[in-house]
Chain A
Amino acid sequence: MLDRNIPPALNPLPQASLIAPVERSLANGTRIYVFKDNQQEVFKMDILFRAGREYASRPFIADTALNMLNEGTFSRTGREIAEIFDFHGAYMGLYTGFVQSSLSVVSLYKHAGTIAGLIAEMIAESRIPEEEMKIFLKNRKQELLLKLEKNNFIAHREFGKKLYGPTHPYANNTTPEDIERVNGKDVADFYTSHIRSKAPTLLLSGRIEEDFLRRIEEIFGSFSYCAPTGELPEFPEIPSVPGRYATETKNSMQTSLRIGKKGLSLTHPDYPGFIVLNTLIGGYFGSRLMSNIREEKGYTYGIHSANIVLPQSAYWVIMSDVNSEYKDRAVEEVLKEIDILRKEPVGERELEMVKTYMHGEILRETDGIFAQSDTFAEKLAFGLDNRYFEGIIRDIHAQTPEMLLSIAQRHLNPEEFIIITAG
């Protein structure tokens, strides 16, 4: 007879099985990293440009310049470019970051050559057509206006402003007027000096055969780049302004909460302990905040926390949409949980569960050739590679209740908190 009361034995989790990419450097400075798995039918190409928002003199210039890449070259209209991608079943995306921006494409390998050729042309010969740019800006402004209707967007902006100051790029404070002010000349200049003139980094993953790789080297090796990758402009960080701030909005059925402060960067010695603490308090479904504020009190559908690492900074934030009736009690309960973390050592059983969960998350994050290419791209921005994961798994397991208690006391001081409520 089966005894359901006896749980199956648990097996310890394996190490992350990391794949070292094959690295090539071209004479013009282009770097290529290849994560090859020729069992795949699909290939993925990511092109990383040192052309993020921090290089632009005004908001939304970097976003616009990147998004104009698929709106036309000297020999093709945007429509023709789109026809080629779609006809070959290729999915292309553009992403603007703070330092790095990227173009990513996924497609069936049988069309890899055509797609790579087209992308090279888009990067080398962007025409930035005025009409297309106007439509792009109009639609992005509409999107922003819609986001500004949402309490959680408003709360996050207010949080960013108090944390970095309203004009810092990390505050993400682009306004509809900023978008209106974008003009073709600024966009063209940005394209020329940052996208066109700096050697990019290429990541190739999935099915990558030798002849395709040679073709890539040929195409991307033929460009000449005149600008150095570029020193980042300095953005003086103003000191954060701790305190409690309330914003009224027209949607008052729920209140968006943001509670947080500056966080820890990847290289900070307390980083591993801090992310264990973060997971414990709000980083997974079974976290203390979820257990208390959702599962015990029913004030919210979800409450989460995260340590967000930015190129030259980091912040830590708790986020939730709560029943407006209980917004003050929700804030109180959050502060109570922080206080417990600063006073009582974490129990062994809870800590063990959090470590195993985090270890599992890292294995999921690095599972498969495409995932490893993605994590590699992220780590590259910090001068690291996927070997980072080996170290962090070890460091997570090394945390003790005493270490965490002292990290909580050092880095989670409520007097430094910025508390935002919107709605």
Chain B
Amino acid sequence: MVKYERICLPNGLACIYNEDFSTPFVAVNILYKAGAKNETEGHTGFAHLFEHLMFGGSENIPDYDARVQAAGGENNAFTTNDYTNYYIILPASNLETALWLESDRMAKLVLSEKALRIQKDVVVEEFKQRYLNTPYGDIWLKLRPLAYKKHPYRRPTIGCSVEEIRNASLSDVKEFYSRYYAPDNAILSISGNIKAGKAHRLVEKWFGDIPAAGYKKEIFPAEPEQKEARRLLTHGKDLPADAIYKAFHMDKRISDEFYICDLISDLLSNGNSSRFYNRLIKGKASFSSIDAYVTGDTDPGLFIVSGKISPGISPEEAEKDMENELHALVSGKIPEKEIRKVINKTESKIACSSVSYRNKASELAFFEMLGDVALINREYEKYENISSEDIVRTGCKLFEPENSSTLIYLKS
């Protein structure tokens, strides 16, 4: 059970506090509801590039990182399709420094041509390091546009190409900042060794006078129902194994279906007692590794199954084995004990995760973004009520061939 207090400032900033006196630290988390899905055509990779520019200094603080370090803290950020998340972990006695830093860059970020030019270079190197110069690194660049035709999730967070990252201009950057980086489009969560009341007084002091931007929620084009199985074949540069990636459309993070799909992914691949492990890694041994997971996006997301094929097994045979397992799961009653097992594992995972004030800060902000912060304490109950019928009903629809996008990644 994560206890929290939620208060909204008049300028629209949602603030959530969790007291945790087992640590001398606090985690200060700021989530901006702007991610890759908010980018415009031809400017993909922009939200992530912008995240880099947030560290370039603000009106009163030219040296953001140095100030965090001088307070004994550490900080970082990440960008997803839905949002951009920033955090600082520092000793609780220096909390105010974190609020000073975050409020100043929310109020007035300094943006320069030089910083933009260098961060484009840095992001291009990140693109190469993580997506282009590494085996199978480009699968999301290929899988997203295969699975999505209309919704902006068709674009990878890093961007569609190096060229599009290079396209960004300083005026694009300024417009993105003034549209999205404002208190009424942000969530601030704090967890750690600080009383909620005291934390809130400091938050009011530093964030209270930042004007709202009058942000209007955007509506994104819904992805039309997929009507045909899609396939794509791609060739690697002499890789050690062929691989298969399958993406199936599923519902959004906040839906009941999400929890059922998540449980299905656990039945298939969580732990050495899972179906994939026992039948495909052992048993038929057609894969050297195989995994199933859900993306958990704000809008309807994807259920992914991916595996590296064992030497001597053809991609056709491996794909058949993979599909057989998906269909076997949804074509009969699932033993009660098997469902109980994955629910128990989820219970344990939730208990372990709530030990950490860092996780609590980021999860509180995440659930607030989804529109229901109280969900943080109701997740286990959602899993606990799932039945064999729910799994079979949801899984049958999920694994229909017309709902699938398959990427076969050949070794050469």
Contact = CB atoms under 8 A, between A and B. Distances in A.
Contacts of B91: 11, 13-14, 360, 363
Interface string A175-189: 000000000000000
A286 B22 contact: no
Interface stretch (A118-126, A140-148, A211-219): A140-148
A305 interface: no
B169 interface: no
Contact of B70 (A87, A321, A353): A353
A17 interface: yes
Interface string B304-327: 000010110000000000000000
A39 B22 contact: yes
Contacts of B120: 298
A351 to B, nearest CB: 11
A135 interface: yes
A369 to B, nearest CB: 8
Contact of A370 (B347, B348, B355): B355
A70 B59 CA distance: 57
Interface stretch (A26-34, A78-86, A155-163): A78-86
A250 B133 contact: no
Interface stretch (A2-10, A266-274, A308-316): A2-10
B392 to A, nearest CB: 21
Contacts of A354: 69
Interface string B278-296: 1001100100110000000
B271 A82 contact: yes
Contact of B352 (A42, A83, A363, A423): A42
Contacts of B237: 250-251
A89 to B, nearest CB: 3
Contacts of A300: 122, 125
A138 B69 CA distance: 45
B76 to A, nearest CB: 8
Given A139-B281, A353-B66, A364-B74, A89 B122 contact: no
B67 interface: yes
A87 B96 contact: no
A301 B239 CA distance: 25
Nearest to B65: A286
Contacts of A337: none
B132 A253 contact: yes
B129 A87 contact: no
A197 interface: no
B351 interface: yes
Contact of A367 (B25, B75, B281, B337): B25
Nearest to A150: B134
A78 B351 CA distance: 26
Interface in A291-305: 294-301
A106 B347 CA distance: 13
Contacts of A353: 66, 69-70
A363 B75 CA distance: 15
Given A14-B91, A298-B122, A363-B72, A139 B289 contact: yes
A390 interface: no
Nearest to A44: B352
B310 A138 contact: yes
B371 interface: no
A321 B133 contact: yes
B125 A321 contact: yes
Among B23, B132, B277, B288, chain A packs the most CB atoms within 10 A around the CB of: B288
B70 A10 contact: yes
B238 interface: yes
Interface residues on A, range: 35 or more
B272 interface: yes
Nearest to A41: B351
A357 to B, nearest CB: 4
A10 B71 contact: yes
Among B65, B94, B352, chain A packs the most CB atoms within 10 A around the CB of: B352
A250 B411 CA distance: 14
A254 interface: yes
A237 interface: no
Contacts of B386: none
Contact of B272 (A10, A78, A149, A285): A78
Given A85-B271, A91-B348, A356 B132 contact: no
Contacts of B73: 360
B397 interface: no
B118 A323 contact: no
Among A78, A149, A301, chain B packs the most CB atoms within 10 A around the CB of: A301
Given A142-B311, A301-B125, A87 B355 contact: no
A359 interface: yes
B100 interface: yes
B23 A368 contact: yes
B273 A7 contact: no
Interface in A43-91: 70, 78-79, 81-83, 85-91
B179 interface: no
B241 A142 contact: yes
Contacts of B134: 150, 251
Contacts of B3: none
A356 B125 contact: no
Contacts of B241: 142, 145-146
B74 A321 contact: no
A107 interface: yes
Contacts of B126: 301
Contacts of B122: 294-295, 298, 300-301
Interface in B90-140: 90-91, 93-94, 96-97, 99-100, 103-104, 107, 117-126, 128-130, 132-135
26 contacts: A4-B60, A4-B104, A7-B67, A7-B100, A8-B96, A42-B348, A42-B351, A42-B355, A79-B273, A79-B278, A83-B341, A85-B271, A86-B270, A142-B311, A143-B288, A146-B240, A250-B237, A253-B128, A298-B122, A299-B125, A301-B130, A321-B133, A353-B70, A357-B72, A364-B25, A370-B355
Given A88-B348, A298-B121, 8 more contacts: A7-B67, A8-B100, A41-B351, A42-B355, A79-B278, A82-B277, A321-B133, A360-B91
Closest 10 CB pairs between A and B?
A: A298-B121, A89-B348, A360-B72, A82-B272, A145-B240, A8-B96, A82-B273, A301-B126, A11-B93, A142-B288
